[in-house]
């Protein structure tokens, strides 16, 4: 599945596909049918969530949050919730406490349609918070169906949805943690929470390059690495940005982004693999070979690196 996602990242820019085109595209009849079967709420309810997230991001450091006992396939787990509370407090994200309520929602946890499970869970949690107001600005409820998925919902004081997050093997963050154990699921929830509360380094660098060029982008990247307060750095997002540039024939920008990713994640074989591909497109044979060799050194099973080296060395 990971390779499928990588393929999408690499090919989408070449077909003019991006987050912006996705947002501006009107859904068709098939999409409407799938949305209905997946339990999606009305568009009006969904479109209100991003605005609440802006409020959350702006005020979360001064806000209070309660975390309910985590739901697992074996029932309610207060210890897991207490660990999430500690991790959030230790990270200085906001002030968090363990909820005094021993909540165990009865929403189904098994269904081939995980999106439907997420929205059913979201509805049940919203109903609970509305009926049982919490002495906090936000309330979080997590659901672990190990190793299949990790869902979590955040509602505001009035019970309205602020975050509805679904993570499974299709998502890069999910694959970064050991979801076979509670600790890994807890770390994923905290990592995902930070993504909503902080600004993407990749998006910031992209905007800087757009406004001021590659050199300014490099400078901004170094500044954010030195002081990343309020920002998060994702290897996958940087990699996708590099391929976005590559698909747009902006090879110099792509190489610059892949270099940044190698600098930030020197133990990742994929960062070198991507940089090798960009150098190959640029006609920089020796630099391409160097990067592919480093990629294969880190991951001897990398077929893309092995095949690329064969082609490069045969020329």
Output DSSP code: residue 162.
Answer: E
Report, as an integer, the average pLDDT of 254-267: 97
Q: What is the pLDDT of residue 5?
A: 44
Q: Are residues 123 and 82 in the same domain?
A: yes
Flag whether pLDDT at 144 surpasses 70: yes
Cα 89–chain centre separation: 21
Model pLDDT for residues 61-91, shown as the tens digit of each residue: 889 999 999 999 999 999 999 999 999 988 8
Range of the domain at 96: 46-197
Give the count of domains, the chain. Answer: 2
Which of 197, 221, 247 represents a domain boundary (last residue)?
Answer: 197
Q: What is the pLDDT of residue 235?
A: 86
Burial zone of 153 (CB within 10 Å; 0-12 exposed, 13-18 middle, 19+ buried): buried
Task: Report the percent of the chain where pLDDT is more than 70.
Answer: 88
Res. 166 pLDDT band, cuts 50 70 90? very high
Q: Are residues 182 and 59 in the same domain?
A: yes
Q: For residue 293, what is the domain's CATH number?
A: 1.25.40.10
Beta-strand pair 70-72/138-145 = parallel
Task: Give which of 68, 212, 187 is closest to 134, Cα–Cα.
Answer: 68
Q: For residue 98, what is the domain's CATH number?
A: 3.40.50
- Measured CA distances, 20 to 13, 16, 24, 210 (Å): 11, 10, 6, 16
* Stretch among 133-142, 170-179, 187-196 having the lowest mean pLDDT: 170-179
């Amino acid at each position: 599945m990971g390779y499928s996602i990588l393929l999408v990242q690499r090919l989408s820019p070449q077909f003019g596909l991006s987050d912006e085109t996705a947002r501006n595209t009107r859904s068709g009849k098939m999409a409407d049918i799938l949305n209905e079967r997946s339990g999606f709420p009305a568009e009006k309810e969904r479109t209100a969530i991003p605005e609440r997230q802006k409020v959350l991001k702006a005020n979360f450091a001064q806000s209070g949050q309660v975390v309910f006992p985590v739901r697992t396939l074996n029932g309610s787990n207060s210890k897991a919730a207490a660990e999430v509370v500690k991790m959030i407090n230790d990270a200085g994200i906001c002030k968090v406490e363990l909820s005094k309520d021993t909540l165990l929602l009865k929403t189904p946890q098994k269904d081939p349609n995980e999106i439907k499970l997420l929205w059913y869970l979201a509805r049940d949690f919203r109903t609970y918070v509305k009926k049982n107001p919490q002495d906090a600005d936000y309330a979080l409820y997590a659901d672990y169906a190990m190793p299949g998925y990790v869902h979590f919902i955040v509602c505001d004081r009035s019970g309205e949805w602020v975050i509805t997050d679904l993570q499974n093997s299709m998502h890069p963050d999910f694959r970064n943690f050991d979801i076979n154990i509670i600790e890994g699921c807890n770390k994923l929830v905290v990592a995902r929470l930070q993504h909503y509360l902080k600004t993407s380094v990749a998006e910031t660098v992209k905007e800087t390059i757009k406004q001021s060029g590659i050199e300014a982008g490099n400078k901004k990247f170094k500044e954010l690495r030195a002081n990343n307060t309020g920002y998060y750095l994702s290897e996958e997002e940087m990699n996708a940005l590099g391929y976005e540039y590559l698909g747009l024939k902006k090879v110099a920008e792509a190489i610059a982004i892949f270099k940044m990713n190698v600098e930030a994640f020197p133990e990742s074989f994929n960062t070198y693999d991507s940089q090798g591909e960009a150098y190959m497109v640029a006609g920089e044979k020796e630099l391409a070979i160097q990067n592919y060799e480093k990629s294969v050194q880190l991951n001897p099973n990398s077929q893309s690196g092995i095949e690329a080296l064969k082609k490069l060395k045969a020329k």
